[in-house]
Structure 1
């Protein structure tokens, strides 16, 4: 119960963090059976495992990126077409034409964002677990609980312990705040779990009667927290071998970003503010992360490096996988799936944007093309003389369009475009008539 007390209690991330905590606990217990009690190794395996579980979402994200390569020229053409048109009618038409492209290829814009929306909460929850391992792994909690009780009995407070920690993390801050209303031993454990070598030395000096017990726990803590000769509770230093962690973080993140973008057509950054921002972020973020490594314990840096290494191999594997897939065939499957989905929703694909989408986006607003498409969909005779005023595309088209459907929306725009053309024609005719009258006089 004490362990559960100080786990992250957020409404959304809390439950996810506890599930991840059970996975970490199982990994630690498994390694302990082989005589390996090391949080560094456990953390790396844990990071690999969780990222592996998220791989299907990463594949889906990459698939959307590959499909975007095929669609981007047409999407960019539409954006360029309406670049300087900010009025509502133009924005509506741009949205309509963009929807036409997506429907033509059977792709939903949301399919590119959904994997990230699912992945982010998991990654944030994973960070909470990594940062406070004793709260999620009972075996690690037990390493500190004994000395924590003795320190508490000696009159040392959680706040006093917090001042010995090199960096005041949210774990330490929360423990100090909660300890004001409770003397539960778990809050002492939370802070002790953040101790590095220097902090243990300070504690031994403050409690000389407990020096032997404190140094025994410090040695045990060092044993389970040492990875490649580095104490993961320490902070990296420039004049130390630990500087390799920030360097590896920068290098691996750059490689991971480049590999994930390999084979993906990037939009022209010179004429696209969003693309410029993304390019700048991709170039700057690895170095920002490297600097942040100096502000957090080595264990956090190891977590970042491990995640980057996994994504490097994952990116290579995904790129090889997609190099063997016919994306045109995938597009055809998407169109078919989209058609069946619309039929299940009670919509007739033939009366939606499908016919418009079959045309090149540059001719979506071509009145002649719209008239032919409308006549074909509504079963009207191709002979223009037999088309009634009621069914004319420029007079509302088929009145049986479902209210709020894409088809009704497209038809409304076609009607508005026709009305505008008629108005311009009348004005031009009147102007021409006046001109002719002026000439006769």
Structure 2
């Protein structure tokens, strides 16, 4: 396991997430290999995506339920906004916030409810990019396929200089290797990093530099194509790289596939957003409505651009995710249409009243304690009767208002006990 750690992404935030996703990806790969004898990372990504979105189904349902309730309560929110329109003083702004929050409480809706899923998706997306970009570091069975070639390379005279020349000639982005290290384990990981990330055009150079290993290198290339290619496209390369390679080699499918992945990604994102926004509540004529409309178009465009520059595997995840979300959204919408939202609103109103009463009660008790503490002359209290209060008062700063209020409270409690 120590050897596997050396080539994994080590970022403080995304590193641990990538490691967890790597465990899941490895488990899926082992399952597909053992049960169906399928060794393909592209298919693993699709299965991985299904698992992620099914696991998030309760959160998605809750989010869409909130969106539906939000649509129902919008007329009340607008009345409050109209009431305080043009009033910028702090008292009016605070009153508007409190009344708006009361509406949210009444309907049981969280203002941040729609942001939670996006907040979860972003780190998953970027962490998955790290896993796809360096699959052998997270899937031991794939890393094991490199062992024989790595041993053969290390047996070649001057292999370190040749590997350095190879890495410089192919100019792989984000490749950090150092073939001058003496530790054989670390050196072996660097070799795997380079070989796995070699673009299609780099394999000929690899064979030229290590001509005595030409057969082993070709076998390694075929092995990588077996598990790292999906529909004839290398998932670790970007769509743009595949398009350029298609132009250089005259392979039409590389060009077509390189274009289709971003286009399909954008279209599936747009389809999903259109379906999801049916439950959203915003007026296309106000500022927020225009902003939401702009975001609805921005996300597909963003997806189109990013998939061009990120590995195709990320594009597969994005497409599979949009398709799965669309399917789940259809099921959620069907279920939401059967719910009695009038009854749900009434239940939320009762819960909101109970919460408001508790907050008011707590606020009233605290304010009474503060007023009592402020008005009472604590020096006239018989301190012999409140020895316990001293001990319970030790967490408050001596002489503070809270300290006095707590002292009064404990004194009153001791008096009430005596009366009983």
Instruction: Report the TM-score when normalising by structure 1.
Output: 0.70
CA–CA distance in structure 1, aligned partners of residues 53 and 202 of structure 2 = 33
Shift of 1:306: 1.3
CA–CA distance in structure 1, aligned partners of residues 350 and 187 of structure 2 = 60
CA–CA distance in structure 1, aligned partners of residues 266 and 14 of structure 2 = 27
Correspondences of 1:114-129 after superposition (within 5 Å): 114-129=116-131
Q: Does 1:264 align with 2:280?
A: yes
CA–CA distance in structure 1, aligned partners of residues 63 and 128 of structure 2 = 20
CA–CA distance in structure 1, aligned partners of residues 325 and 364 of structure 2 = 51
Correspondences of 1:101-250 after superposition (within 5 Å): 101-151=103-153, 154-156=159-161, 160-163=165-168, 165=170, 168=173, 170=174, 172=175, 175-176=176-177, 183-234=186-237, 235-237=241-243, 240-242=255-257, 243-250=259-266
Residue equivalent to 1:392: none
SS in 2 for 1:348: helix
Shift of 1:252: 1.0
SS in 1 for 2:197: coil
SS in 2 for 1:29: helix
The counterpart of 1:98, out of the listed 91, 97, 100, is: 100
CA–CA distance in structure 2, aligned partners of residues 212 and 166 of structure 1 = 24
Question: Is the CA contact (8 Å cut-off) linking 2:228 and 2:235 kept in structure 1?
Answer: yes
Cα distance change of structure 1 residues 212 and 77 upon mapping to structure 2, 3 Å threshold? same
CA–CA distance in structure 2, aligned partners of residues 403 and 84 of structure 1 = 33
Gaps of 5+ in 2: 247-251, 369-420
Shift of 1:191: 3.0
Shift of 1:177: 7.3
Cα distance change of structure 1 residues 338 and 85 upon mapping to structure 2, 3 Å threshold? closer
CA RMSD across the alignment: 3.0
The counterpart of 1:53, out of the listed 55, 59, 62, is: 55
Equivalences, count: 348
Q: Does 1:298 align with 2:312?
A: yes
Residue equivalent to 1:426: none
Q: Which has the higher helix share?
A: 2
Question: Is the CA contact (8 Å cut-off) linking 1:236 and 1:245 kept in structure 2?
Answer: no
**Which stretch shows the higher mean deviation, 49-58 or 150-159?**
150-159
Shift of 1:220: 0.8
Cα distance change of structure 1 residues 187 and 76 upon mapping to structure 2, 3 Å threshold? farther
The counterpart of 2:85, out of the listed 72, 83, 96, is: 83
Question: Is the CA contact (8 Å cut-off) linking 1:236 and 1:294 kept in structure 2?
Answer: no
Cα distance change of structure 1 residues 280 and 400 upon mapping to structure 2, 3 Å threshold? closer
CA–CA distance in structure 2, aligned partners of residues 268 and 159 of structure 1 = 59
CA–CA distance in structure 2, aligned partners of residues 181 and 323 of structure 1 = 65
Instruction: Report the TM-score when normalising by structure 2.
Output: 0.74
SS in 2 for 1:86: coil
**Which stretch shows the higher mean deviation, 294-303 or 156-165?**
156-165
SS in 2 for 1:6: coil
CA–CA distance in structure 1, aligned partners of residues 5 and 177 of structure 2 = 17
Question: Is the CA contact (8 Å cut-off) linking 2:66 and 2:113 kept in structure 1?
Answer: yes
Gaps of 5+ in 1: 353-398, 405-441
Residue equivalent to 1:20: 21
